[in-house]
Amino acid sequence: MQIKINVADDEQVQRGYVLCHRDKLMPVTEVFEAEVDVLDLIEYKPILTRGYSCMMHIHTYHDEVIIKDIVKAWEKNDRGEVTEKHKPQFVRSQTKILCRITTKGPISLEKFENIQ
């Protein structure tokens, strides 16, 4: 399938833009909740807390975001046992978290339930 777009200026269409039907517009948001695997934090910022600023890469989107809240964290100890913490103050590397993320501007994002 090929789509042709008629625009006067090529700069009106950029990487990351979303095409959708006018009757079912793509939702946009500046705050969303995501499950994130924290792999290796940088040496001079070894813990992740509220207000942590980092780069987010989702498909063609890449920009600086801020961790607004950490809702849950799942950490493994040395024996491989997983412990769940609700609203932890901070997390370290090798942790899975559920967090709220704030972006600089609105981004197109569908709810997970709607894409199943």
Could you tell me the pLDDT band of residue 74, with boundaries at 50, 70 and 90? Answer: very high
pTM score, whole prediction: 0.80
Q: What is the mean pLDDT of residues 62-66?
A: 93
Report if residue 24 sits inside a domain.
Answer: no
Report if residue 25 sits inside a domain.
Answer: no
Residue 116 clears pLDDT 70, i.e. is over it: no
Residue 31 clears pLDDT 90, i.e. is over it: yes
Report if residue 34 sits inside a domain.
Answer: yes
Q: Is 27 exposed, middle or buried (0-12, 13-18, 19+ CB in 10 A)?
A: middle
Q: Which domain holds residue 88?
A: 30-109
Neighbouring-strand partners of residue 64: 55
Report if residue 104 sits inside a domain.
Answer: yes
- For residue 25, give the DSSP letter: P
Instruction: Report CA-CA distances (Å) from 21 to 6, 11, 65, 81, 108.
Output: 16, 21, 28, 47, 14
Report if residue 65 sits inside a domain.
Answer: yes
How many structural domains is the chain composed of? Answer: 1
